[in-house]
Amino acid sequence: MTTYALAIDFGGTKVQAALVDETGTVLENSVHRAPTGYRADSDGLLAAVAHVIWNALSALPEDAELVGAGIGAAGPVDYANGTVSPLNVPAWRDFPLRDQVQQLIPQLIGIEIPVHLAIDGLAIAMAEQWIGAAQGARNVLGMVVSTGIGGGLILDGRPVLGRTGNAGHIGHVEVAGITGENSYGSVTTLESIASGPNTVAWARNQGWSGEDGEDLARSFRDGDPVAVEAVHRTGQALGQSIAATAALLDLEVVAIGGGFAKVGPELLDTIREVVGAHYFPYVREVRIVPSGSGEHAPLIGAAALVFRSDLLPAV
C-alpha cells in the first residue's frame, strides 16, 4: 500500500496542495492551486485553502493510506502554536492555520490525521536534504526567492527552528551598500532589494516598461540592459546575505528555489561570484545550487514535514 502525505504550500501569491508519497513523488493529478495575495480577506483565504485541500484529497487512490498533512507557510510563523502571519498576506496575523486544517480534513474525508506546520524555507531545506540537491549534506540553507524571500536551516543534520520557528528567515537580514523598496519599514533588507516584486519595482524606476517577474525574465534573456542590471543587483544582494550566513553558520550547501530564482542561471552565477570572493576559505567552499526538488519543491518540503517528522520538535 502506498502512503501519502497531504502537502500544502501557502505563499504570498498562491496556496497549493497535492498528495506526495513516501519517496517524495508528487501525484500529478492531485496538484491544485488558488490565489492568495495582499488584498485577500481572511474568509477568502481560508476558502482557497479548503478548495485546494478538497481537490487534492479527491485524487487519493482507493488503495492508498493518508498518513498526515504538512504545511509550509510564508513567515513569520509560530511553530508551537501553529499560527501564521505572512508578511505579504496582511489579512492573516497570528492566524491558526494548523488548527484550521486539522479541523477541516475530517469534515472533508471523515478521518483525523496529524498536521505539521513550519516556515516554508525550512520545508524547502528539508526537501533538499531528503531528495534534492543537498542529499548527504548536514549543514544546509534552503531559500525561497519569490514574492518574498524566506529561508530555513539544517545544522548538524537536524532542522533548526529557533525560539518561534523562524530560524533561517534570511529575507529580513540587512544588506550593506544597496537600497531597495520600503518593505515593512526598511529599505535595506534582502527582501526589500531582491524579492521578485521589489526587483521589478527597481527596474521600472530605471525606465524599464515591463509589469512583472515573467516580463523581467524575458527582457533579461533578450539582453535588455536595465533587466540585466536588475538581475545582477539582486544576485549581488543575495550573495552578500548568503556569504554572511555561511560565515556565521559554516554551511555546506545553499539550495535556492522559488519562482523568481528561475529568472536565469546568471542569477546563481552572480551569487557564486560574490560568495567566492569572501575572505574565508570555508565560506568560498559553500556550494550554491538550484533546488533539486523541481517545480514542486515547496510541496515536497511540506510532505517532508510528515515523512521526516521525527526530526522536528514535538508540539
Q: Which long-range contacts (CB under 8 A, 24 or more apart) does 91-97 make?
A: 91/40, 91/41, 91/42, 91/44, 91/45, 92/42, 92/45, 95/42, 97/10, 97/49, 97/71, 97/73
C-alpha cell at 285: 567552499
Which of 9, 195, 183 has the alpha carbon at shortest distance from 84?
A: 9
Q: Which residue's entry shows cell 515591463?
A: 210
Q: 265: exposed, middle or buried (C-beta count within 10 Å: 0-12, 13-18, 19+)?
A: exposed
What would the mean pLDDT of 163-191 be, rounded to a whole number?
A: 92
Which of 81, 59, 75 has the alpha carbon at shortest distance from 6?
A: 59
CATH superfamily membership of 134-291 = ATPase, nucleotide binding domain (3.30.420.40)
Neighbours of 183 (CB within 10 A): 22
Helix 196-205 and helix 213-221, axial crossing angle in degrees, nearest 10:
60
Please report which confidence band the pLDDT of residue 208 belongs to, taking 50, 70 and 90 as the band edges: very high
User: Phi, psi at residue 66, to the nearest 5°?
Assistant: -95, 120
Least confident among 19-23, 107-111, 138-142, 299-303: 107-111
Which of 271, 302, 274 has the alpha carbon at shortest distance from 289?
A: 271
pLDDT score recorded for residue 205: 96
Gap between the Cα atoms of 2 and 23, Å rounded: 10
Least confident among 39-43, 104-108, 229-233: 104-108
* Segments of the chain assigned to CATH 3.30.420.40: 3-122+296-311, 134-291
Which of 305, 307, 243 has the alpha carbon at shortest distance from 273?
A: 243
What would the mean pLDDT of 133-138 be, rounded to a whole number?
A: 96
Gap between the Cα atoms of 196 and 27, Å rounded: 28
E strands, 48-155, in order? 65-73, 77-78, 83-84, 115-119, 140-145, 149-155
Gap between the Cα atoms of 158 and 135, Å rounded: 13
Query: At residue 313, does pLDDT exceed 90?
Result: no
Gap between the Cα atoms of 19 and 168, Å rounded: 27
pLDDT score recorded for residue 167: 96
Gap between the Cα atoms of 34 and 31, Å rounded: 11
CATH superfamily membership of 3-122+296-311 = ATPase, nucleotide binding domain (3.30.420.40)
Global model pTM greater than 0.85: yes
Least confident among 42-46, 112-116, 201-205, 288-292: 288-292
Contact 120, 144 (CB under 8 A): yes
